[in-house]
Amino acid sequence: MYCVLALLVFFFSGYLIAFFSQKATLLIAAIFFFGAVFCFIMIRLVKNLTSTVKKRSIDIVSALVKVVEERDPNLNGHSIYVHNLVMLIWKHLPDSVRSSINPIDINYAAILHDIGKLGIPESILNKQGKLNDEEWAVMKEHPAKGVAILKQMAFFDKILPWIEYHHERMDGKGYYGIPAEKIPLESRIIAVADTYSAITMRRSYKPAKTYEEAIAIMKDAAGTQLDQDIVSLFCKIPRKEVEACAPDNVEVR
């Protein structure tokens, strides 16, 4: 895009110079003029193509999320809930931190964080009681399965680590056991949003907890499971903004 813009400026400038120069021929002026017109048309085409690709990407994402949540009634609305919470946290980050995170990238990472559950058997997803060790080992594969699904699309490359490590813990006891300093900031943000959503949503195997109960649980988990700074920031966000993140189809208290 920038190269085409540079060419547009070059041709249009050349056209103006040629047009107002007594030494330049009409042919030269025409060449520069039509070169500028060509570049302008290319810019419009690229812009339209980018808009179309973005819309198709959103459609694909929406379809994938719908498939995931239809397989597991307990997840109905969870991905949108987490997405809304993540974007709320992003909005409240300090300017210097927020500017380092592309909102479009974290937008996709948030809504697709559980896409790997497409590869988890429904018998495990829909189990009413506690998972046994073998079932839990299978469930813990969903971040890696999500990466395997999304890596087929190159424009998701940047967000793959964010999704893969969103269940890592600050004490190193997460799914992969990686140390805190290696957990991407975006993964830590998703983890906080994911935790709040899981606590406050009603599931078939547990009732929903209140905002106050969720905040208390998250404060206890800060520094061990969750990033302490992000939890602290989250707790300072006005309650009305947090509660407004729940989709209409999500039952919360």
CB under 8 A, 24+ apart: contacts of 147-150: 147/116, 148/116, 148/119, 149/64, 149/115, 149/116, 149/118, 149/119, 150/112, 150/115
- Residues 6+ positions from 51 with CB-CB distance below 8 Å: none
Q: Is 158 known to be catalytic?
A: no
Q: Residues 117, 173, 209, 219: which is the catalytic one? A: 117
DSSP 134-166: HHHHHHTTHHHHHHHHHTTSGGGGGGHHHHHTT
| Among 92, 85, 116, 97, CA closest to 214 | 85
Active site residues: 117
